[in-house]
Amino acid sequence: MTTHPGATAVPVALLSYSTRPRGGVVHTLSLAEALHAAGWPVHLYVLGDPAVGLFRPTSAPHTVFPAGKQLPTLDERVFAAIDALEAGLLVTLPSDVRVLHAQDCISARAAVRIRSQRPGTTVIRTVHHVDDFTTRALIDCQEASIREPDQLLVVSRYWQQRLQREYGLSSTVVTNGVSAERFARSSATGTSDLRARIDATDRPLFLSVGGLEPRKGGRELVEAFAIASRQLEPTPKLAVVGGHSFQDHAPYRQRCVERAEELGISDDLALVGTVSEEELPRWYQSADVFVLPSVNEGWGLAVLEALAASLPVIVSDLPVFREYLSREDVLMVPTHDADGLAAAMVRIARDPELRDALARRGPSIARRFGWGTTAEQHQAVYGGVTATVV
């Protein structure tokens, strides 16, 4: 891949709130790597532990600012993170970097503060989705992070329409990406140890990635799995990978665990937690079916990863999924519908021909969304913005 024709390669700072492998952070790091590989001057700035670094090694230039101590409330954590990112940028950001590209509300608010102190700075923000904050302080903070940047990007037409309808703001769609070759299933891939680790060696294995949290439909997933388990033989296993979030979903996750105990499936539910970058593809390659009953998504990066791994997929019937998936590609069920989700899980578990057909379609879909393509879309955006800067 080469630099986008006609684009002026002015330095860009990519900003993110975390070093953990959440969807937006994965997007930011992968975009930085693809831009760097294309020769675009880019530097990634994130909050985390400088001694630990990012969740995986990277070729992209990057700086990790100390995130500070963990504060008791979400409000406090968000505003402290904005302060920490602003402080780090003020002393580190080179004078020739005048394009700040934020990927979340925390980094967007910090970038806007930097712009007020460095005239001529342009702030771009990618809105992956709008978070479901409940306190007025965070709702206002998020709204400011959408209204204050100079230009908005989104990863789906659905969110482009939402921002226009709810905020009266225009935005540009740039697609998400996936490293399809990294997740591709191979006969040489060893996965038996992962299945054995959770007692799923000779049992159907359903996989969900993202953790048990409200936005991911965690309670519905547990309840649907309980219904499906009573209809399937041998009894299946459900592995849930991930779960780290800036928001504290521990109380919700505990309610899901308690619900699993009430339904008698706690022994069949494996909360794997956050795994290493080396191990994550192997979980996709170990599973039989991928399930993501989200109620709100910006794009669904984990869906692309599952498709790349030739997994048959069950997702919620969300507009963002319908932008790149059809009912011939995946099974779609209504949101908040545990019975409908259970029926889809039973159907796909009992129908090997359906599983095979869906599995064959996945890799070709994933290959349409390489990070190189995503980087080229961003280069066109940067070229247009930076033409007024140089």
Domain hosting 106: range is 12-177+370-386
Residue 262 and residue 156 in one domain: no
For residue 135, the model assigns a pLDDT of 84
Which regions of the chain are under pLDDT 70? 1-8, 187-190, 244-248, 386-390
CA nearest to 269, candidates 219, 313, 309, 315:
219
> Do 28 and 16 form a contact (C-beta atoms < 8 A)?
yes
The CB-based long-range contact list for 69-76 (8 Å cut-off, 24+ gap) reads 74/133, 74/135, 74/138, 74/246, 74/247, 74/248, 75/135, 75/137, 75/138
Q: Give the count of domains, the chain.
A: 2
> Do 236 and 228 form a contact (C-beta atoms < 8 A)?
yes
* 204 φ, ψ (degrees, to nearest 5): -60, 140
Residue 205 and residue 82 in one domain: no
Task: Tell me the whole-structure pTM to 2 decimals.
Answer: 0.90
Residue 316 and residue 381 in one domain: no
For residue 187, the model assigns a pLDDT of 58
For residue 5, the model assigns a pLDDT of 54
Q: Kindly tell me the number of DSSP H helices and DSSP E strands found in the chain.
A: 15, 13
Give dist(CA 313, CA 330) in Å, integer. 5
Residue 203 and residue 272 in one domain: yes
**Which amino acid is it at 81?**
A
Would residue 4 count as lying in a domain? no
Residue 223 and residue 260 in one domain: yes
CA nearest to 123, candidates 375, 382, 379:
382
Residue 64 and residue 39 in one domain: yes
* 161 φ, ψ (degrees, to nearest 5): -70, -40
User: Residue 44 maps to which CATH number?
Assistant: 3.40.50.2000
Tell me: cis bond preceding 234? Omega within 30 of 0 counts. Answer: yes
Would residue 1 count as lying in a domain? no
Residue 291 and residue 152 in one domain: no
pLDDT digits (tens, 9 = 90+) for 59-70: 999 999 999 788
Would residue 73 count as lying in a domain? yes
Q: How many other C-beta atoms are found inside a 10 Å radius of the C-beta of residue 246?
A: 18
Q: How many other C-beta atoms are found inside a 10 Å radius of the C-beta of residue 343?
A: 17
Residue 280 and residue 351 in one domain: yes
* 115 φ, ψ (degrees, to nearest 5): -60, -35
Would residue 247 count as lying in a domain? yes
Residue 205 and residue 266 in one domain: yes
**Which amino acid is it at 48?**
G
Give dist(CA 69, CA 78) in Å, integer. 12
Would residue 187 count as lying in a domain? yes
Residue 203 and residue 329 in one domain: yes
Would residue 3 count as lying in a domain? no
Would residue 67 count as lying in a domain? yes
> Do 241 and 212 form a contact (C-beta atoms < 8 A)?
no
Tokens of 144: 């400011």
**Helix H or strand E encompassing 63:** strand 62-66
Distances (CA, A) of 178 to 25, 34, 164, 349, 371: 13, 11, 27, 26, 6
